Chains A and B, each alone.
Chain A
Amino acid sequence: MNEAKTPLLEMRNISKDFFGNQVLADIDLTVGEGEVIGLVGENGAGKSTLMRILFGANMIAETGGYGGDVLINGKKVEFSSPFDAIAAGIGMVHQEFSLIPGFTTTENILLNREPTKKSVISEVFSERMNTLNRTEMSERAKAAIEMMGVRIDPNMVISDMPVGHKQFTEIARELSKDQLKLLILDEPTAVLTEKEAEALLDSIRAMSARGIAVIFITHRLQEILSVCNRVVVMRDGYVVQSVDAADTDVAQITKWMVGREVSQTPEANDKKDLSGGKPILKIEKLWVDMPGETVRNVSLEVMEGEILGIGGLAGQGKLGIPNGVMGLYPAGGSVVFDGEPIPLNNPRRCLDSSFAFVSEDRRGVGLLLDESLEWNIAFPAMQIQNRFLKNYLGGLIKWRDEKAIREVTEKYIEELAIKCTSSKQKARALSGGNQQKVCLAKAFALAPRLLFVSEPTRGIDVGAKALVLQALKRFNRENGVTIVMVSSELEELRMSCDRIAIVSGGKVAGILPASASVEELGGLMLSQVI
């Protein structure tokens, strides 16, 4: 039999859309036995979705399945759950740990796969009454840890462990599965120290030598070059490059990752001259404990009247900044607005100092989903500034001024082109883009001096995107409101902002004028990734 060796995994012509929103198209990916593939791309490029399809994640089937074929050893497979994928020899280490905090390394490695001893009682009742075979458990866990080549204590409790060891525990769990042929590592080095990352790379090499293929997702390009056979670069749902790691370098990969057709270069005359401006907001040594978006040490000055963009990769802490300053997550450090210190962890004081915040969590934090548009838009102003109220008996009794509320709502419906049946419609019934406009209207109605906008265009269509960005810009230029805009989309920041601060590793990696090149900004994004 001399036919060409069938690859371990073949993904052919994979496509996926979420309710009409195309996130993956024409993806072809081949992985051979023992091959190490580096998968890179900006957030939203489609890496995670692709891996979810491969791993049979439930959310893929729930959102209408995918197009194209997945072949393992030349046979077409269709995973309906991660358990099918695991049975077929695919293992995945997620970014979020999937570990039981009070269990030891050993117990976690063999979670729900514990070797057991039969007893009379289990014969009568069920197999779950078998007692655990502790000796065999520790032997198997030890074997898996050895296979990884990293020394971790098999008897240590997870909650006492440094983060890196948790990561290794997860990897050891996958390695302890006998059928494992392909291991997906989703940003495994993000939480590791340099030394630990080195050790991980060594263990990837060791796995590869044993014939286990690895798909390695990371933002640390240097690692990719040092360990991978092949680099696959994704952008906007397409595979834009697939080259041998030996034939490329970091600069080239960065360019492929972020380099778009540079057709929408922002016009230079549109930018504000900030040279004479004074800083209105000073943030110093800010830390924010927002799960998944930890801010470690941010110092930042915002000029009066500017639009400051904050960019960076997901998980690097850019979302933590507005959420921390506004008091939605525990935070520390100092924030001074217009010469006056603003206490942290106190949303009310922020609002009283005429801050407003358009949250990235539109449906959770941003809107009263089951109330009318009128209520949504007027509610904060009513609560915080006592506007839209009629006072009787010298202010003892306050009634809502329905007429003023309707007027202001209708004004914003017209100004922002909110598509709705009337100002009484429930917020839940609107589309994502229109809900976002309501969130903006709500913030505008507060007439803030400083507006935080977080991911203003996430999950909305192109037409609505342009409208939202225009509205923000107009609000800034016409009313002189300082805006801090946090977004994962670099292009959007370059178009709308005056300056862009890039957050990496929970710190500000640098602040550049919006006219800076994509390569420069992209370089900053990756500079301190942890």
Chain B
Amino acid sequence: MNTKKKMNAGEFIRRGSVPMMFILICALCIPIAGLSPTYLANEIVTRMGRNAFLILSLLIPIMAGMGLNFGMTLGAMAGEIGLILASDWQIVGIPGMVLAMIISVPISVLLGLFCGKILNMARGREMITSYIISYFINGVYQLVVLYLMGSIIPIRHSSIKLPRGYGIRNTVSLLNMRQKLDNLIPLTIGGVKIPVMTFIIIALMCLVIIWFRRTKLGQDMRAVGQDMEVARDAGINVERTRILSIIISTVLAGIGMVIYLQNMGNIATYSSHSQIGMFCIAALLVGGASVDKASIGNVFLGVILFHTMFIVAPRAGAYITGDSMIGEYFRVFVSYAVITVALIMYETNKRRARREAGQELVKEQEKEA
């Protein structure tokens, strides 16, 4: 099917400008940082396995025209609750992870339903609305984890409970699950450890997304994403379709968070999820995605470039300024900057389209003259 639009040179440069900039930054920083290629490759591969699934969860709402979905943070919280409970019940290794995922799914569905319903009321402002919802639900999450766990929801193990008898500690160790998935099929190539099983799951997820695009629901989502009114006139239930896209995204984010945390090996109970949405969105945008268009390719290019920068930039920064804190500063700064740039580009593209319509009229006049 010839569904791809032919890209002219100008559009190619516009779309590719953000990834090009990051490739340039990485190319400059890598020699300055002076890291060994093996270390660098190891780090990139590890982080790719850690993060890619979470970023993939962003693709479906973009397809449905709901923009960059900060609502994935809700799924991340559901994943954390699943992991806290699974580790309290002392279910270890892969079964523990699977259990955590199973616990997270119904929570994710409920949160996604809630988020989707609200986003239907805030059409055209999905991004900022989902961002604020994520703060609101963070409050609910804290209530559950800080006050209800241990008092109403039974928590047996004191290792994860606060000394006062209820509430969860700042850090929950996942030593029993740490990298169990990554190491299930051990493989090392040239000193680079490959998390084979994680990659297989990510590859499967990509296949699922490709398959999903070809389903009726996927087609409906694309239609709704491009023109809600036309889709409604054709008999597509627009509201339901949009809610489904958010639910799917939230559920995938919950599962993605479990994969993310098994790699990290511990949960920062009150902060693991707080910036995950922003970093994932920034990574996707670095990969060349935009508010209304994102592909699997964008995910992988983004995750590689974004993380390479974070590995090399602090070293390079420390080398130049002598201050190692520059890395964390850089990470937050760049994330917000990339998101801002993406939003501005989205608006200017819309305006350019409008200007071009005017230019057509001028050309018509000239043709007649």
Q: A259-290 CB contact bits vs B (8 Å, 1 = yes)? A: 00000000000000000000000000101110
Asked if A112 and B223 make an inter-chain contact with CB atoms under 8 angstroms apart, the answer reads yes
Across the interface, name the chain A residue whose C-beta is closest to B212. Answer: A129
A448: interface (CB < 8 Å): no
Contacts A159-B5, A289-B361, A296-B361; A132 near B216 (Cβ below 8 A): yes
The answer to whether B214 has its CB under 8 Å from any CB of chain A is yes
The interface size bin for chain A is 35 or more
Q: In the complex, which of the residues B215, B222, B234 contacts A102, with contact meaning CB atoms closer than 8 Å?
A: B222
With beta carbons under 8 angstroms apart, the residue of A102, A112, A122, A295 that contacts B226 is A102
Tell whether A111 pairs with B215 under 8 Å between CB atoms, given A100-B226, A104-B1, A157-B5.
no
| Count of inter-chain pairs, beta carbons less than 8 A | 100
Asked whether A372 is an interface residue with its Cβ less than 8 Å from the other chain, the reply is no
- For window 146-182 of A, CB contacts with B under 8 Å fall at 155-157, 159-160
Q: Is the CB of B223 within 8 A of A111?
A: yes
B359 to chain A, nearest CB (A): 9
> CB within 8 Å of A: which of B140-181?
none
Contact-residue size bin, chain B (C-beta under 8 Å from the other chain) = 20 to 34
How far, in whole Å, are A297 and B369 apart by their CA atoms in the complex? 10
Q: Are B223 and A297 in contact (CB under 8 A)?
A: no
Q: Is the CB of A289 within 8 A of B220?
A: no
Contact A155 B1 (CB under 8 A): yes
B contact residues around A525 at 8 Å (CB): none
Q: B214 touching A330 by the CB < 8 A rule?
A: no
User: Across the interface, do A103 and B216 meet the contact criterion of CB distance under 8 Å?
Assistant: no
A residues in contact with B219, CB < 8 Å? 107, 114, 132
**A103 cross-chain contacts in B, Cβ below 8 A:** 3, 222-223, 226
Whether, in the assembled complex, B190 has its beta carbon less than 8 Å from a beta carbon of chain A, the answer is no
Q: How far is the CA of A278 from the CA of B220 in the complex (A)?
A: 60
Measured CB to CB, the nearest residue on chain A to B368 is A297
B358 and A116 form a contact (CB under 8 A): no
Residue of A nearest to B355 (CB): A330
User: Which of A98, A104, A294, A331 is B2 in contact with, Cβ under 8 Å?
Assistant: A104
B235 contact set on A, CB distance < 8 A: 83, 112
A100 touches which of B6, B227, B364 (Cβ 8 Å): B227
Contacts of B6 in A (CB 8 A): 160
Contact A332 to B358, CB < 8 A, known contacts A104-B1, A116-B216, A132-B215: yes
Contact between B220 and A112 (Cβ–Cβ < 8 Å)?
A: yes
Residues of chain A within 8 A of B226, CB atoms compared: 100-103
Q: Are B361 and A287 within 8 A (Cβ)?
A: yes
Determine the chain A residues whose CB is within 8 A of the CB of B2 once the complex forms.
104, 155-157
Residue of A whose beta carbon sits closest to that of B235: A112
Residues of chain A in range 81-98 having any CB-CB distance to chain B below 8 Å: 82-83, 98
Question: How long is the Cα–Cα vector from A159 to B223 in the complex, in angstroms?
Answer: 14
Residues of A within 8 A of B233 (CB): 82, 98
Residues of A within 8 A of B236 (CB): 112
Contact of B365 among A101, A122, A296 (CB under 8 A): A296
> How far apart are the CA atoms of A187 and B332 in the complex, in Å?
55
Beyond A101-B227, A160-B5, whether A131 also contacts B365 by CB under 8 A is no
CA distance A101 to B214 in the complex (A): 18
B211 at interface by CB-CB < 8 Å:
yes
Can you list 12 A-B pairs with a CB-CB distance of less than 8 A? A100-B226, A102-B222, A103-B222, A130-B216, A131-B216, A134-B214, A157-B3, A285-B365, A297-B365, A330-B357, A331-B358, A332-B361
A residues neighboring B (CB under 8 Å): 82-83, 98-104, 107, 111-114, 116, 122, 127-132, 134, 155-157, 159-160, 285, 287-289, 294-297, 330-332
